[in-house]
Amino acid sequence: MNFLFPSLRNSKKKEVHFEEFVLLPLRELVMYPDTVLPVFISYRGGISAIEEALRRDMRVFTACLRNLNDKETYIVGTVARLIQYIRLPDGTFRVILQGEYRGTMSIRTTNDRFSLVTVSPINSSHEIPNTMECTALIQTVQRSFSQYAELSKRINTETILAVEKTDNLERLANLICNVLNVKIGQKIELLTIADPIERLHTVLETLERENEIFDIQKTIRAKVKSRIDKSQREYVLHEQLKEINRELGKEVSESGDELSDLERSIEERHPSAEALKKVHKEIARLRKLQPLSPEAGVIRGYLECVAELPWAFMSMDSADIEEAEKMLNADHFALYKAKQRILEYIAVLKLISFTSKYESPIKGPILCFVGPPGTGKTSLGSSVARALGRQFVRISLGGVRDEAEIRGHRKTYVGALPGKIIQAIRKASTSNPVILLDEIDKLDSDFHGDPASALLEVLDPEQNINFVDHYLEIPYNLSKVLFIATANSLHGIPYPLLDRMEIIEIPGYSENEKVCIAQQFLVPKQVKENGLSEAVIRFKDETIQSIIRYWTMESGVRDLERSIAQCIRRIARNALKRGFAKEKDIATFKKIVHPHDLNALLGRKQYKRDLFFKETHIGVMNGLAWTETGGTMLPVETILLRGSGKVQVTGNIGDIMDESAHIALSFVRSVYEKYAFTVDDLEKIDIHIHVPEGAIPKDGPSAGITIAASLLSAFCQQPPHANIAMTGELTLTGRILPIGGIKEKLLAAIRNHMEKVLLPAENHDEWLELDKDIRDSLEISFVSYACEAFELLFNETIQRKLSHELRIED
């Protein structure tokens, strides 16, 4: 052997030689000199290294891999000798290595099977004094290691004895480092330090730190054990106390037992017989369980939920119709149909209270308020509860897609809860609250189930008398609850669910209604909320009208309220700038908002009018459409082109509207002989029908008469009369069928200064129910057939018998 290992006790420097070894990478193992390490070699690089070492001198250089997925090793390692090896049948090795000395790789040569490295030994560059300080250090390390071995309980007796007997600093450090349970990085650091004294100091620091960690862990375990022992002791004492009471002839329930109190509180709420049977069964199970068991916690939570439900408690309904009507009118303007239905319900309640043959109140109705956003549907539900004298709970259904949100989770699941309906009942603390199901048309469904189907039982007065929540597992009577649902549109509600509700339409507000709402409700509310209640702030009616026409475009009043709030905030800021900073000064502040102030308060106008042509054009007709945000103008344009008889309909329209366009074309072609067409051969003309604002989807049959009039205008090359709008579904025989959304469509016509509107004759009764200001704002013509509409839209010259025979040359 070329290398002579230096004696650690010899202070003289020895000549250092370099040796070449086979590199043996170790996975998450760090080997030290003076130790024996058994290793199982199963990876290809390690097997090749062992095979090459067997062909050489049975010695290897062991180094720990930096990463399990990497081939790079630390440059520091230990030269070791193979003192025993066994080749297994699968080609792997079991070897026992004996560490000789520490070293550092200086040169590495790698082939496709193994690596050869040149190793320089790590020698102490300092002399090791044989002093009392050195002896004290050794003894201190030995005592600290003894404490570590006692606490860890994982170190064999041979190692402990070897550490106690050695007085060699290098050997002492190697023996201790080999059994320390620390991270790989720390082990590499302990292998790298050359100075034996410095290395032993580092070992001592590591031992002390690990001993301190053991002490902290021991303290934590003792605290946890004491808590568990305390709980067990309390449980045993409670059981003993119950036995003592039984021996004394006392009822256990009189002992102040917590479960007995819970059982008594449930019985005081007078649940159904089936519910009481279930409760007694669960309490009997709970008494047999350990208090800290998971099942005991589940049962206890279940019983507490049952105890909080108002099984038989109902709030007293207000039967004063006049007072209820005053409350509804004070909270909301107009909404006559909805208010009428609530007052009818209160009247029936009052009559039934006088009739002895009825033992219980009537079942709560299932109402559904349908209308555009911002029309007061949600706040109306709160007003209904106040008028009835009941508790009010709102449940938001927008985006709910899990059936368990309605029916609850099975209580066996971790974190199980009752459904939203039972939670609302528990929150209201009465069994006859007003529950508002907000945005019921926004329900969704996925693999968790269909919540709309789960609502079928909830919203059926014949079924919800025995509604079973998955968490409760016992029937609960929901028939006394007044359910009010809100929706922007009926299209998103499944028909079976829709059939269980009484639909009450909440239409958009007219301009005059919005002015009244703003003056009576919105302006006083915003003045108070923005700190100007002591000041005099007034908006002229013309100012409110300007805000409605040019800064908001809605059926409700939500944007109107925001605009008014913005005006008042600007006024408040200006008041502070002008020195109105004290309460006395604010009381003297006055401001009347005129229309010409709006540009400074709100900025430039946001809207003008809907898209329509002020001047009449050939082939352009003004239709009316309904949207979820209110009515709007729907112009239809038609042009004729030389071609081969093709028909093209554009404007992002749906299938129903596309069918309406083809029906209108077929009807207009069928009356070719009656009108003065300027086209001799329709087969040589291409027809292009377009509905502007192509980015907005459009569908529905109510544009049928509008498309037919646009086609007739293009075929006869005659423009319609100005300022006329129309709506109605057209059949192939020319009949005009009724449509919906009359109020919203007429409001759009008023907003855009239309003078005349053509409506289907069958909508006449619905028109009579509208407010007088809407009826007086427009001239309405009711038509049953398309030919009647054409007579009102065009001059008499469009008739063939009076035609000038104008023709488009082929």
Dihedral sign of CA atoms 341, 345, 350, 352 in order: positive
Catalytic residue at 777?
no
Q: Looking at 124, 702, 710, 777, which residue is catalytic?
A: 702
Up-side HSE of residue 189: CA atoms within 13 Å toward CB?
13
Contacts for 555 with CB less than 8 Å, ≥ 6 apart: 371, 372, 373, 374, 375, 507, 508, 509, 629, 630, 631, 744, 747
- Residue 31, CA distances (Å) to 49, 541, 774 in order: 16, 92, 95
How far is Cα 347 from Cα 320, in angstroms, rounded to an integer?
A: 8
Sign of CA dihedral 525, 528, 533, 535: negative
Three-class DSSP category at 121: strand
Q: What share of the chain is helix, strand, coil (3-state, %, to 5)?
A: 45, 20, 35
Long-range pairs for 276-280 at CB < 8 Å and ≥24 separation?
278/473, 278/474, 279/303, 279/306
Q: Which residues of 534-547 are buried (b: 16+ CB within 10 A; e: fewer)?
A: ebebebeeebbbbb
Beta-strand pair 502-505/59-64: unpaired
Helical spans, DSSP H, in 410-473:
420-428, 451-458
User: What six digits make up the tokens of 503?
Assistant: 């639909």
Give residue 586's Cα distance to chain centre: 44
Helices 294-308 + 273-288 axis angle, to 10: 150
702 is catalytic: yes
Closest by alpha carbon to 710, among 784, 788, 648, 794? 794
**Long-range pairs, 565-570, Cβ under 8 A, ≥24:** 565/526, 565/529, 565/530, 566/601, 566/602, 567/539, 567/593, 567/597, 567/598, 567/601, 567/602, 568/523, 568/526, 568/527, 568/530, 568/532, 568/537, 569/530, 570/600, 570/601
Which of 394, 416, 396 is closest to 407 using CA atoms? 416
Q: Which of 390, 326, 320, 325 is nearest to 350 (CA)?
A: 320
Question: Would you call 785 helix, strand, or coil by DSSP?
Answer: strand
Q: Are strands 630-642 and 19-26 parallel, antiparallel or unpaired?
A: unpaired
Q: Which residue has the tokens 């009515």?
A: 631
Among 278, 480, 745, 777, the one annotated catalytic: 745
**What is the number of other CB atoms lying within 10 angstroms of the CB of residue 143?**
13
HSE toward the beta carbon, residue 68, CA cutoff 13 A: 4
Furthest-apart CA atoms within the chain: distance in Å: 135
How far apart, in whole angstroms, are the C-alpha atoms of residue 738 and residue 719?
26
The one-letter amino acid code at 176 reads I
Give me the helices (H) in 359-478, please.
Answer: 377-388, 404-407, 420-428, 451-458
| Token pair for 69 | 């997925």
Q: Taking the alpha carbons of 573, 578, 583, 585 in that order, is the dihedral positive or negative?
A: negative
Give the integer Cα–Cα distance in Å for 268 and 312. 10
Whole-angstrom Cα distance, residue 611 to residue 622?
9
- Those residues whose C-beta lies under 8 Å from the C-beta of residue 328, and which sit 6 or more positions away, are 339, 342, 343, 383, 384, 387
Ramachandran angles phi, psi of 340, nearest 5°: -60, -40
Known catalytic residues are 702, 745
